[in-house]
Amino acid sequence: MRTVISSIESEYRRYHRLGEESVRQLDAEALVLRPPGDGNSVAALVWHIAGNLRSRFTDFLTTDGEKPWRDRESEFAARAVSPAEVRAKWEDGWGVLFRTLGTLSDADLARTVVIRGQSVSVLEALHRSMAHASYHVGQIVFLARSLRGDRWEWLSIPPGKSDEYNRNPREKV
């Protein structure tokens, strides 16, 4: 049975879409622009999310989620990359997650996995991962919206459109 896993996967897909649609709205210059105060660029956040997802969900049930090949510090480095490279990195990380989720059943939720030497249930690992991904996707959405200004294409119900949406709901947001 996959009732809980399917629900978790659906939420991950929602965050994947929010990040993807935000990244799509940015040009190469905006993707690598660092906000004031030593903040992370959208590209750095994409590299970090992808690195985290690849590490955590490669051999998810059998190896520590913090892989020795992951270089977390380099994920935050400034980089000159094209929009195509950012999209490819984004899909790489999320692809590992979605392939792994496709192999899990609700019975796996009580199993134990290891992350940085700490044993946690699969359910806890999935919740922690989703919270981490949603936190950083929120940063991407905020940065992209700030950079686009009045050219921003809304990802949910635009301001002033709640009544219109409620009269004719098109999709779950």
Q: pLDDT tens across 26-58, in order? A: 999 999 999 989 899 999 999 999 999 999 999
**Mean predicted confidence (pLDDT) in 135-149:** 97
| pLDDT tens digits, one per residue of 81-115 | 999 999 999 999 999 999 999 999 999 999 999 99
The SS3 assignment for 119 reads: strand
The SS3 assignment for 38 reads: coil
pLDDT band (50, 70, 90) for residue 21: very high
pLDDT for the residue numbered 171: 60
Of the CATH numbers 3.40.50.720, 1.20.120.450, 2.40.10.120, 3.30.70.260, which one belongs to the domain with range 3-167?
1.20.120.450
Nearby residues of 152 by Cβ (< 8 Å), 6 or more positions away: 25, 144, 145
pLDDT for the residue numbered 165: 87
pLDDT band (50, 70, 90) for residue 149: very high
pLDDT for the residue numbered 19: 98
pLDDT at 172 over 60: no
> Tell me, what amino acid is at 78?
A
